[in-house]
């Protein structure tokens, strides 16, 4: 199928299910299962894979085996492995497996209230600490993505001014982040808002890779992807099986499903390099491991058949 004018010819995808997805699961997933799922995802054709997070085990017990997963998983060399780190202590832990990772992702919220709830710091305090982390990580040869949660709205404060988000993004870039991810943490974004935001971000942050991270809490995730595409955004994060999500909104679903995203992009003629069938196989295995149906639409409906039956 032909691609619409103005839409990027290809996009870069980062699969975040092993971190963002797994950390929200109430039952601890066996390390063997995590390793197997990471290896399946690494062979889908995806070129960026967020495997774990180096946070305190008492905060997120699910990811306490992150170092072991990284050591054991056989990941092709062409796949850039990333980990999420909250602070300098997390960076120290990540550096212990430096030979297994290529990128680190640091994070803070655009809204003061969400940042306080999430990391018990003001935005200014978080930014000051992360600037040091970014500098050290860069000195170790690691590529850095700065992730800004609640970029499109806060469940506590409501509207978040784009100016504030872009000011934080500029500070992260100035500290050495090559990429800035904008998170729709609780699925509050709408397509018009998204298009306008990414058009403005592209103008104000030249040379920085801009990444969209949408949640499907209110069923608008893929509509927001289309709006970001129309604004020229060519980098996205998603989670296989629609795993993950923010616990704040009642009944919230997870991130946009990787297989739904790839299915849509394939149909639009946008190159991802990802095998939809391999991705669906990984989601089916995750469904078996977790013992429950997952929220991905393509997992239920299957790949689109363009030829008449």
Residue 194's pLDDT band, with cuts at 50, 70 and 90, is: very high
Residue 273 lies inside a defined structural domain of this protein: no
Task: Identify the pLDDT of residue 256.
Answer: 96
Residue 304 lies inside a defined structural domain of this protein: no
Say which residue, 1 or 3, is predicted with more confidence: 3
Percent of the chain, pLDDT > 90? 89
Task: Identify the pLDDT of residue 2.
Answer: 59
> Can you tell me the distance from the alpha carbon of 119 to that of 138, in angstroms, rounded to the nearest whole number?
23
55-59, 71-75, 194-198, 266-270: which has the minimum mean pLDDT? Answer: 55-59
Task: Identify the pLDDT of residue 245.
Answer: 72
Q: Whole-number mean pLDDT of the chain?
A: 94
Q: What one-character DSSP code corresponds to residue 214?
A: E
Residue 43's pLDDT band, with cuts at 50, 70 and 90, is: very high
- CB-based burial of residue 263 (10 Å sphere; 0-12 exposed, 13-18 middle, 19+ buried)? buried
Q: What proportions of the chain, in percent to the nearest 5, are helix, strand and coil?
A: 45, 15, 40
Q: In total, how many domains does the chain have?
A: 1
Residue 144 lies inside a defined structural domain of this protein: yes
Contact 51, 19 (CB under 8 A): yes
Percent of the chain, pLDDT > 70? 94
SS3 (DSSP) at 138: helix
Task: Identify the pLDDT of residue 199.
Answer: 98
Which CATH number covers residue 168? 3.20.20.70
Task: Identify the pLDDT of residue 244.
Answer: 87
Write out the residue range of the structural domain in which residue 160 sits. Answer: 13-235+245-251
Instruction: Provide the b/e sequence for 169-206 (b: ≥16 CB within 10 Å).
Output: bebbbebbbbbbbbbbbbbbbebebbbebbbebeeebe
Residue 50, pLDDT above cutoff 80: yes
> Can you tell me the distance from the alpha carbon of 19 to that of 2, in angstroms, rounded to the nearest whole number?
34
109-113, 198-202, 305-309: which has the minimum mean pLDDT? Answer: 305-309
- CB-based burial of residue 107 (10 Å sphere; 0-12 exposed, 13-18 middle, 19+ buried)? buried
Residue 301 lies inside a defined structural domain of this protein: no
Residue 308 lies inside a defined structural domain of this protein: no
Cα 11–16–17 angle (5° rounding)? 125
Residue 24 lies inside a defined structural domain of this protein: yes
Residue 253, pLDDT above cutoff 90: no
Residue 245 — left, alpha, or beta (φ > 0 → left; ψ -120 to 50 → alpha)? left
Residue 160, pLDDT above cutoff 90: yes
Residue 1's pLDDT band, with cuts at 50, 70 and 90, is: low
Residue 186, pLDDT above cutoff 80: yes
Residue among 246, 257, 261, 286 flagged as catalytic: 246
Compute the average pLDDT of residues 36-64: 96
Condensed to tens digits (0 to 9), the pLDDT of residues 117-149 reads: 999 999 999 999 999 999 999 999 999 999 999
Residue 21, pLDDT above cutoff 90: yes
Residue 153, pLDDT above cutoff 70: yes
Contact 130, 106 (CB under 8 A): yes
Residue 302 lies inside a defined structural domain of this protein: no
- Give bridge partners of residue 181 from the DSSP assignment: 147, 211
Residue 192 lies inside a defined structural domain of this protein: yes
Condensed to tens digits (0 to 9), the pLDDT of residues 53-89 reads: 999 888 899 999 999 999 999 999 999 999 999 999 9
Clarify whether 246 is annotated catalytic: yes
Task: Identify the pLDDT of residue 3.
Answer: 63
Condensed to tens digits (0 to 9), the pLDDT of residues 84-114 reads: 999 999 999 999 999 999 999 999 999 999 9
């Amino acid at each position: 199928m032909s691609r619409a004018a103005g839409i990027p010819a290809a996009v870069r995808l980062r699969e975040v299910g092993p971190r963002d997805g797994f950390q929200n699961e109430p039952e601890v997933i066996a390390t063997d299962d995590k390793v197997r799922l990471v290896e399946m995802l690494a062979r889908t054709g995806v070129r960026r894979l967020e495997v774990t997070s180096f946070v305190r085990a008492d905060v997120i017990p699910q990811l306490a085996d992150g170092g072991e997963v990284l050591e054991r998983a056989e990941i092709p060399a062409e796949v850039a492995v990333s980990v999420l780190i909250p602070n300098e202590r997390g960076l120290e832990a990540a550096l212990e497996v430096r030979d297994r990772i290529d990128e680190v992702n640091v994070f803070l919220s655009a809204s003061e209230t969400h940042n306080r709830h999430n990391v018990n710091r003001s935005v200014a305090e978080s930014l000051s600490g992360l600037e040091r982390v970014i500098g050290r990580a860069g000195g170790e040869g690691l590529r850095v993505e700065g992730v800004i949660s609640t970029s499109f709205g806060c469940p506590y404060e409501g509207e978040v001014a784009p100016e504030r988000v872009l000011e934080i993004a500029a500070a992260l870039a100035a500290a050495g982040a090559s990429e800035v991810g904008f998170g729709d943490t609780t699925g509050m974004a709408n397509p018009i808002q998204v298009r306008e935001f990414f058009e403005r971000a592209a103008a104000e942050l030249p040379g920085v890779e801009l990444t969209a991270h949408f949640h499907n809490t209110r069923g608008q995730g893929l509509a927001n992807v289309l709006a970001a595409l129309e604004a020229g955004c060519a980098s996205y994060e998603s989670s296989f099986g629609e795993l993950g999500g923010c616990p704040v909104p009642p009944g919230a679903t997870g991130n946009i499903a990787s297989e739904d995203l790839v299915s849509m992009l394939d149909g639009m003629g946008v190159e991802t390099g990802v095998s939809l069938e391999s991705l669906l196989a990984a989601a089916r295995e995750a469904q078996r491991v977790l013992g429950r149906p997952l929220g991905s639409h393509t997992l239920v409906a299957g790949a689109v058949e363009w030829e008449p039956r």
